[in-house]
Amino acid sequence: MSTAPELSSPKRPVSHSTLGRAQRWSWVFQRVSGVILIVLIFTHLFINLWWGDGINQIDFAFVAGKLANPFWQWFDFAMLTLAMIHGANGMRMIIDDYARSPWMRTTLQWALRIATLVIIVLGTLVLFTFDPCPADADPSLLPTFCFE
């Protein structure tokens, strides 16, 4: 009869005092952000795909009109940051589970952190510095409030 294979030791030493607490917060964050994201994303899809003229109304003026409104700026900011951190936290666990060498794990984790940060910073800049009435634009593309 063959004997059961021996399990190799864990890839990372687990300290129950510190890592345990961080893991618990990460678990709670994924659940809470997941529920909030369902509300944010379905509202986003409803407004952009169905409400009014639906998908046909999406043009520069539509986006400019939304991003001139602080409500939609903060709504999009919440969706952007929560979606990015939720996705990155999930990827972090997948890298920890599957990366075979410590070098590969460290490289992938840093690539993930940098990509997440760059996307959050660029996305936030778009949301809060967007000019809805650029001076040299074709007037037929601009929202009506640019001429009031």
Residues engaged in binding ligand HEM (CB under 6 A): 41, 44-45, 48-49, 58, 63, 66, 72, 76, 79-80, 83, 123, 126-127
- For ligand HEM, the closer of residues 33 and 79 by Cβ is 79
Per-residue burial over 90-120, b if 16 or more Cβ lie within 10 Å, else e, is: ebbeebeeebeeeeebeebbeebeeebeebb
Give CA–CA dist 37/8, Å, rounded.
Answer: 38
**Shortest gap between Cβ of 94 and ligand HEM (angstroms)?**
19
Rounded to an integer, what distance in angstroms lies between the CA atom of residue 134 and that of residue 60? Answer: 11
Name the minimum Å distance from CB 100 to ligand HEM.
31
Q: Which is nearer to ligand HEM, 49 or 133 (CB)?
A: 49
Torsion angle in degrees (nearest 10) through CA of 116, 119, 63, 44: -10
State in angstroms the smallest separation of the CB of 112 from ligand HEM. Answer: 17
In the complex with ligand HEM, the residue whose CB is nearer, 36 or 123, is: 123
* CA atoms of 144 and 125, how far apart (whole Å): 24
Minimum CB distance to ligand HEM smaller for 37 or for 99: 37
Q: How far is the CB of 93 from ligand HEM (least distance, A)?
A: 19
